[in-house]
Amino acid sequence: MLANFRNSFIVLLAFTLLSACSGYEKAMKSKDVNYRLAKANEFYEKKQWQHANSLYETLAPVMKNTRNYEPMYYRYAYTFYNMKDYLSASYHFKNFAESFPNSKDADEVEFLYCYCLYKLSPKPSLDPTNTERAMEALQNYINTHPDSKRTVDANKYIDECRAKLETKDANAAKLYFNIGQYKAASVAFKQVQRNYPESTNSDFYQYMIVKSFYKYAEESIKDKQEERYANAVNAYQELVDGYPNSKYLRDAEKYYTLSDNNIKKLRNEHK
């Protein structure tokens, strides 16, 4: 009996799939625009995004400038979004917003354009172009829709994009340090501080500046060492003054003490 039930279920499933496919094929071949639109909307409501997308694509050229074009194109853009094709979705959401600036859906669609760009933003180690594009679009949305309920999310996504860019820049600075390019590391960490003044990692960057200056001085010729150890001492003082509760102070103090002792030693040698 169980085997018969299983076989019946498989037959029913196959019939259902066949019926759905045949309905789609029939709609694709139909020259009746209204029928195709009705079937596309039916597939859309059933969340069969690919079928709906393909039908809407055939309808877009023939329905342009008709009263049904706006709602059809709105759903067409959404099919890409629901299929997670964010590149195509961003294009069509942007196109919708430009084509129907007075639409009741304009605010939503403009935000979704930005959100798709945000979704295209890659991990920090990759090319940041899409991340920067997303930030620019989101900021523009906030500027032009200051009263929108979506600005809270837009700000959150900007912060996430900024964090990615910060991570990328900080990792580049760390790489300089790890390969022994200590002067470049000190410059890079200082630049990260300038670019991201609100960062919760600012004290770490200052600590790495202390460390980089010390390492750079340590490897320098003797004539340059005093000046470069002095840079480490000054950087440590900036850490103390700017971040008195930093967890990096104790470790940084070692480099301060070493630098200060080396300065005194070098001065004694010159006497």
pLDDT at 222 over 70: yes
How large is the C-alpha radius of gyration of the chain? 30
- Position 268 scores a pLDDT of 87
pLDDT at 181 over 80: yes
Task: Kindly report the CATH number that applies to the domain delimited by 180-271.
Answer: 1.25.40.10
pLDDT band at 3 (very low <50, low <70, confident <90, very high): very low
Indicate the domain borders of the chain.
180-271
Residues 117, 130 contacting (CB under 8 angstroms): yes
pLDDT band at 9 (very low <50, low <70, confident <90, very high): very low
For the residues 133-154, what does the mean pLDDT come to? 97
b/e code 199-217 from CB counts within 10 Å (16+ = b): bebbbbbbbbbbbbbbbbb
- Position 21 scores a pLDDT of 56
Kindly give, in sequence order, each residue whose CB lies less than 8 Å from that of residue 91, ignoring residues fewer than 6 positions away: none
DSSP string, 188-230: HHHHHHHH-TT-TTHHHHHHHHHHHHHHHHHTS-HHHHHHHHH
Distance of CA 125 to the CA centre of its chain: 12
Residues 124, 165 contacting (CB under 8 angstroms): yes
Lowest mean pLDDT among 20-29, 100-109, 256-265: 20-29
- Position 15 scores a pLDDT of 43
pLDDT band at 5 (very low <50, low <70, confident <90, very high): very low
**What's the whole-model pTM score?**
0.83
- Position 11 scores a pLDDT of 40
SS3 40: helix
Rounded Cα–Cα distance for residues 110 and 257 (Å): 56
- Position 271 scores a pLDDT of 63
Lowest mean pLDDT among 21-25, 138-142, 211-215, 246-250: 21-25
pLDDT tens sequence across 58-76: 999 999 989 999 999 999 9
pLDDT band at 192 (very low <50, low <70, confident <90, very high): very high
pLDDT tens sequence across 11-32: 444 445 544 555 899 989 888 9
- Position 6 scores a pLDDT of 55
Residues 242, 197 contacting (CB under 8 angstroms): no
